[in-house]
């Protein structure tokens, strides 16, 4: 079954601490800090210290993510070189367990984050998000392969389906990637149409799913308790095979 991740989307340190306290009660497998929501993102030392604090408070591994506005993230005042420097600082301090970088970004920037993660012994997740639609299954599979070719430890895709067929394309690509690549992959369709993929994605090879704690970080995320209940039903059914 997929690991369950709870995202943090607070804009202030106080809001983030409240999310971490709630996550500790929910006991997910890991948490994600979407730092692009944080109003203090430009203060590197504060980000590093808060990342360490949030991980300790949640009691589980931390995935550190800056999502760009082109892939559904919040606008920020930092340029891409400054974002890379922020990732390098987080890695140097070993303030996270996994870092998420967008594989569609500048190749030199992806390489810099990869090298920083490797030097610190931190896992690298390379991701791609399409909030406008869903590419064909073949293109999605190529994206998963790109993540592996770029040196990712985990590959992640999230798409916005316009039909049920789009959800099937995402699941098909996830299954093929999980069976043919050497790295774990995570695939999810967003929005109401894609909700089923968050529950059954593990049956198609997805290693990770996201459930909301205080708030969602992407359309279609369901409360983590409801997500867990659905996963438990699938787990029980699968055990009967």
Q: Are 100 and 72 in contact (CB under 8 A)?
A: no
Q: Other CB atoms closer than 10 Å to residue 219's CB: what's the count? A: 16
- Residue 95 has which token pair? 């303030």
Q: Is 156 designated active site?
A: yes
User: Is 198 labeled as ligand-binding?
Assistant: yes
User: Is 88 labeled as ligand-binding?
Assistant: no
Q: Is 164 designated active site?
A: no
User: Is 52 labeled as ligand-binding?
Assistant: no
Q: Are 69 and 31 in contact (CB under 8 A)?
A: no
Rounded Cα gap, residues 135 and 100, in angstroms? 21
Catalytic residue among 27, 109, 156, 164: 156
User: Is 107 labeled as ligand-binding?
Assistant: no
Backbone angles phi, psi at 148, to 5 degrees: -65, -45
Name the residue with tokens 């944080």: 38
User: Is 197 labeled as ligand-binding?
Assistant: no
User: Is 127 labeled as ligand-binding?
Assistant: no
Which residues does residue 64 pair with via DSSP β-bridges, in sequence order? 33, 99
User: Is 102 labeled as ligand-binding?
Assistant: no
| Burial class for 145, CB neighbours closer than 10 Å (0-12, 13-18, 19+) | middle
DSSP 2: P
Point out the residues that are catalytic. 129, 156
Q: Which residues make up each annotated binding site?
A: 32-34, 67, 198, 217, 221
Question: Residues marked as binding for 3-dehydroquinate?
Answer: 32-34, 67, 198, 217, 221
């Amino acid at each position: 079954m997929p690991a369950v991740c709870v995202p943090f989307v607070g804009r202030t340190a106080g809001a983030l601490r409240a999310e971490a306290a709630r996550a500790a009660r929910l006991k997910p497998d890991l948490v994600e800090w979407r730092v692009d929501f944080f109003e203090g993102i430009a203060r590197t030392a504060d980000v590093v210290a808060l990342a360490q604090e949030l991980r300790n408070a949640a009691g589980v591994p931390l995935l550190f993510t800056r999502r760009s506005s082109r892939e559904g993230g919040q606008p920020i005042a930092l340029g891409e070189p400054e974002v890379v420097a922020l990732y390098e600082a987080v890695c140097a301090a070993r303030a996270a367990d996994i870092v998420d970088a967008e594989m569609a970004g500048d190749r030199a920037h992806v390489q810099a984050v990869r090298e920083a993660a490797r030097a610190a012994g931190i896992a690298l997740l390379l991701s791609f998000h399409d909030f406008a639609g869903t590419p064909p299954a073949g293109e999605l599979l190529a994206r998963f392969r790109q993540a592996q070719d770029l040196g990712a430890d985990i590959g992640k895709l999230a798409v916005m389906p316009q039909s049920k067929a789009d959800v099937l394309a995402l699941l098909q690509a996830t299954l093929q990637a999980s069976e043919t690549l050497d790295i774990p992959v995570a695939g999810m369709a967003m929005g109401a149409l894609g909700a089923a993929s968050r529950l059954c994605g593990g049956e198609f090879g997805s290693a990770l799913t996201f459930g909301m704690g205080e708030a969602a970080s992407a359309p279609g995320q369901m409360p983590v308790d409801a997500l867990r209940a659905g996963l438990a039903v699938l787990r029980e059914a699968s055990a009967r095979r």
